[in-house]
Amino acid sequence: MEDKFGEAFTKLPPSKTAPGSGFMNNFERIKRGFGYQEEDYYTIAFLLKVEKSPYYEPDEDEVVIPQ
């Protein structure tokens, strides 16, 4: 996430990004399904202040994770 979003991610409080946070719990759930699902990508609801990125959908406030 740091590589994709830089400070937009790293400056968030640990309560939003650390192990056990809602985001990380959702990420772990999706990660376990890689290779077993038919989707081309997964999304996780997460509010970030990011310039244009193929890994973020600002209209939906979602991080996009390609399979």
Domain locations along the chain: 2-66
Q: Which two tokens stand for residue 41?
A: 């990508």
Residue 24 is given by DSSP the state: H
Residue pair 41/64 in contact by the 8 Å Cβ criterion: yes
List, for residues 55-64, the tens digit of each pLDDT value: 999 999 999 9
Q: Over the stretch 15-54, which tens digit does the pLDDT of each residue have?
A: 999 999 999 999 998 888 777 777 788 899 999 999 889 9
- The pTM assigned to this predicted structure is 0.81
Rg (CA), the chain: 12
The closest alpha carbon to 33, from 43, 23, 46, 19, belongs to: 43
Question: Are the CB atoms for 64 and 54 separated by under 8 Å?
Answer: yes
